[in-house]
Amino acid sequence: MFNPFVLYLFLFLFIANRGIIYAFIEGIFNRSTKKNKTKDITDKKILDLIYKKTGLKLSKILLFDTSKVWAMMAGFPPKPYMIISNEAYKNLDKDEMEWIYLHEAGHYILWHNLKMALLQLLFIFPGLIMPIIIKSYILQIIGSIILAILSSILYFYLARLFEYEASYYAMRRMTNPQAISTLALKAQKRWFDKVKHEKFHKLFNTWIYDIYENLVQAAKKEITSRK
């Protein structure tokens, strides 16, 4: 018989990390079919800018071939590095990319990767407890599926707080906060307008358009405060 806890764990981890999983699968597929290698786009001026604004010393910046606007921090101290999607690099201007760089640096500075990993570990416990409470095997399987979905929704809600924190961290440090408005407009036209089920999207994603809307208002206040 299939272990209910294993089912819960697989479903939860897959749902919680499906964005990264999809991006890497697409990137690897593109590398094999289009012969597009991961490019090193390290620019000393950008590394110096990130260090000046955040105090973080990056070892390199890599370009990953995916169709999503996507970025992440990777590596370990003392040589962390950043991965940027080709879609972001092609479609965002210099000021908008500065926000991306500072946003990802913010995740690293604020220990968000570690916090999100610990948060996912915390969500293992509901899957362990459920089979103890429910004795029927059929109900355990059904319960594992339902619990994995509910745990994922709660996880995305909590993880979204880290996205807000990193977003404001970057906005307060970027050279031109006005770029937030153009970035939000591009995001809506190019990516978020394609979302078919907005309510479903908000439940199962850490990044939602509401973050941009709140950032635009915060950026206006930031611009006023700098005058």
pLDDT in tens, 210-221: 888 889 999 999
Q: What is the DSSP string of 155-214?
A: HHHHHHHHHHHHHHHHHHH-S-TTHHHHHHHHHHHHTGGG-S-HHHHHHT-S--HHHHHH
User: What is the tens place of the pLDDT at every residue in 153-204?
Assistant: 999 999 999 999 999 999 999 999 999 999 988 887 776 666 666 787 788 8
First-to-final CA distance of the chain: 67
Could you tell me the residue range of the domain that residue 222 belongs to? 4-226
Query: Strand locations in the chain, DSSP E?
Result: 39-40, 61-64, 71-74, 81-85
For residue 48, give the amino acid letter: D
Residue 202 to residue 209: CA distance in whole angstroms:
9
3-state secondary structure of 72: strand
Q: How far is CA 196 from CA 9, 70, 149, 199, in A?
A: 28, 20, 20, 9
Give yes or no for a contact between 179 and 98, defined as CB atoms under 8 angstroms apart: yes
- Single pTM value for the model: 0.90
Q: Among 83, 81, 210, 23, which residue's Cα sits nearest to residue 218?
A: 210
Instruction: Check whether 27 has a pLDDT greater than 80.
Output: no
Instruction: Please count the structural domains in the chain.
Output: 1
Which of 16-20, 109-113, 141-145, 199-203 has the least mean pLDDT? 199-203
pLDDT confidence band for 34 (50 / 70 / 90): low
Kindly report whether the peptide bond that precedes residue 78 is cis, defined as omega within 30 degrees of 0. yes
For position 35, what pLDDT does the model report?
56
Instruction: Check whether 124 has a pLDDT greater than 60.
Output: yes
Structure tokens at 32: 């094999």
pLDDT: is 194 or 10 the higher one?
A: 10
User: What is the tens place of the pLDDT at every residue in 130-161?
Assistant: 999 999 999 999 999 999 999 999 999 999 99
Instruction: Check whether 33 has a pLDDT greater than 70.
Output: no
